[in-house]
């Protein structure tokens, strides 16, 4: 992958930076230039809370080439508290534990590596919050 493609998204990948529409309050992750709800163009940027819950999930058994060594692994759509929804891997979880509503927190993790030089892509993965 061209390095610039990854570098541009560091604020989202590393800090989970989102944008809140100043007009209607809708939150976008990643940030956008125009709000799909009210057409507003003024946003305030903020780093989302790292806690949230699972909306839906699956276990990937047949992955894309870049994730081959990792399968099987869990992925899900999670809703961040006070933030947006996003798609993420769910790590450190037994597959039986997966359920709608599972509380999670986001942790900075290695996502995958590519190429002969092993360029490593970092980002966030969800892990269950255990009481």
Partner 1 sequence: MRDVAVIGVGMQKWGELWEKSIRDIFVESALLAMDDAGVDRLDSMYVGSMSPGIFAAQEHLESVMADYLGQQYIPATRVESACASAGLAFRLAWMEVASGISDIVLAGGVEKMTDVSGGEATYALATAADMKWEAMNGVTFPGLYAMMAVAHMHKYGTTREQLASVAVKNHYNGSMNPRAQFRSRITVADVINSVKVADPLNILDCSPITDGAAAAVLVPADQVKNYKKAGVKIIGSGHATDTIALHDREDIAAIRAAQIAADQAYKMAGKGPRDIDFAEVHDCFTIAEIVVSEALGFFEPGQGGPAVESGETARDGRIPINVSGGLKSKGHPVGATGLAQIVELVEQLRGESGQRQVKNARVGLAQNMGGSGGSCVVHILEVM
Residues of this chain that bind partner 1 (CB under 8 A): 9, 29-30, 36, 55-65, 67, 70, 73, 75-77, 84-89, 95, 100, 111-112, 121, 123
Q: Compute the least distance from the CB of residue 96 to partner 1, in Å.
A: 11
For partner 1, give the closer residue by CB, 23 or 63: 63
Q: Compute the least distance from the CB of residue 66 to partner 1, in Å.
A: 8
Q: Compute the least distance from the CB of residue 41 to partner 1, in Å.
A: 19
- Phi and psi based region of residue 118 (left: phi greater than 0; alpha: psi -120 to 50; beta: remaining): left
For partner 1, give the closer residue by CB, 46 or 67: 67
Q: Compute the least distance from the CB of residue 93 to partner 1, in Å.
A: 13
For partner 1, give the closer residue by CB, 77 or 119: 77
For partner 1, give the closer residue by CB, 72 or 129: 72
The pairing of strands 51-60 and 73-80 is antiparallel
Give the CA radius of gyration of the chain: 16
Q: What are the DSSP calls for 67-131, one per residue? A: GGGG-SEEEEEEEETTS-EEEEEE-S--GGG--TT-EEEEEEEEEEEETTTTEEEEEEEEEEPP-
């Amino acid at each position: 992958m061209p390095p610039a493609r990854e570098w541009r998204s560091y604020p989202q990948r590393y800090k989970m930076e989102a944008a809140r529409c100043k007009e209607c309050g809708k939150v976008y992750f990643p940030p956008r230039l125009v709000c799909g709800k009210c057409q507003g163009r003024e946003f305030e940027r903020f780093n989302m809370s790292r806690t949230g819950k699972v909306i839906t999930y699956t276990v990937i058994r047949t992955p894309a080439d870049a994730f081959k060594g990792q399968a099987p692994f869990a992925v899900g759509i999670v809703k961040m508290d006070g933030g947006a929804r996003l798609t993420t891997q769910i790590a450190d979880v037994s597959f039986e534990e997966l359920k709608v509503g599972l509380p999670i927190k986001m942790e900075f993790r290695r996502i995958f590596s590519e190429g002969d030089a092993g360029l490593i892509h970092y980002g966030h993965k969800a892990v269950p919050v255990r009481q």
